[in-house]
Chains A and B, each alone.
Chain A
């Protein structure tokens, strides 16, 4: 039994994570309560991080956990508590006619499957040691990602940080009360 587990550890981890990913995703679109959906999304994020570890992307797995589970998830839950989803009027949650939805998603599915099957035979699996080496020198995965990121992709890196800055400004501007609303509050007091 133990020998079998050791020999098949990669498929076992993959299928466990895959089941968690799909179950979490189904939960996101199934639960009516947004907080349950958010926790379900958290399971998907963590399972995806597990898949990254399985593919020699340890740094990305850590980033996935820190940014998604630590940042985005907290942001979602914070906003849900800020707008107090429980006191909002209860309304129907699903679009009633599912036929157009099924057609649209079925079309997407077919297109992507076709593209995947055509692309399949072009790539042979490479040596995973390349993911933890820079110019033939073996080193950690984080170091390898850092070298490529700051040497070959410095300009995109700066542009992305600009995008983050703009997103931050936009969130502040949209989250702010405007002056009229503030005056009305003062008068009501």
Chain B
């Protein structure tokens, strides 16, 4: 019983799909951002799995970049949430229906 790259790819696929399902069916902005984190984590698993498979550290370097971008995205998204709550007193996405403040 060995763990091959296919195991990691299938796990990453399941994680990605769960993230997309969450983004589609949830209306809460905070939960939506968490689903984005799930999707980015799925991508990171893929990078690390292929890095292991190819014996090349470059995949791990890209995982560092991915984690950085995910952190930046979370900071921006949560800033938007704070602004939205101040404006509308809600985190429900369908309540945010105007573009201008």
Contact = CB atoms under 8 A, between A and B. Distances in A.
Are A and B genuine complex partners? yes
Interface of A: 8, 10-11, 14, 18, 21-22, 25-26, 28-29, 34, 37-38, 41, 44-45, 48, 51-52, 54-57, 59-60, 63-64, 67-68, 71-72, 75-76, 79-80, 82-83, 85, 88-89, 91-95, 98, 100-101, 104-105, 108-109, 112-113, 116, 120, 123, 125-131, 141, 144-145, 147-149, 152-153, 156-157, 160, 163-164, 166-168, 170-175, 177, 181
30 contacts: A10-B2, A18-B7, A22-B14, A22-B15, A25-B38, A34-B30, A41-B34, A51-B11, A51-B48, A54-B3, A57-B60, A60-B67, A67-B68, A67-B71, A72-B74, A75-B74, A79-B78, A83-B85, A83-B91, A85-B30, A89-B90, A93-B28, A125-B4, A131-B60, A160-B65, A163-B68, A164-B68, A164-B72, A171-B76, A175-B83
B31 A28 contact: yes
Interface in B15-68: 15-22, 24-28, 30-31, 33-35, 37-38, 41, 44-45, 48-58, 60-61, 63-65, 67-68
B5 A91 contact: no
A97 to B, nearest CB: 10
Contacts of B21: 29, 101, 105
Contact of A51 (B45, B55, B70): B45
Contacts of B51: 55, 57, 131
Interface of B: prevailing SS? helix
Interface of B: 1-11, 13-22, 24-28, 30-31, 33-35, 37-38, 41, 44-45, 48-58, 60-61, 63-65, 67-76, 78-83, 85-86, 89-92
A171 B75 contact: yes
A50 to B, nearest CB: 11
A35 to B, nearest CB: 9
Nearest to A159: B65
Given A44-B38, A76-B78, A120 B25 contact: no
Among B4, B38, B56, the most chain A Cβ lie within 10 Å of the Cβ of B38
A28 B1 contact: no
B63 to A, nearest CB: 5
B91 to A, nearest CB: 6
A30 to B, nearest CB: 9
Contacts of A48: 41, 44-45
Contacts of B81: 79, 83
Nearest to A101: B24
A148 B58 contact: yes
Given A67-B67, A68-B37, A100-B24, 10 more contacts: A34-B30, A34-B91, A55-B51, A57-B52, A59-B60, A60-B64, A72-B71, A89-B90, A108-B20, A148-B58
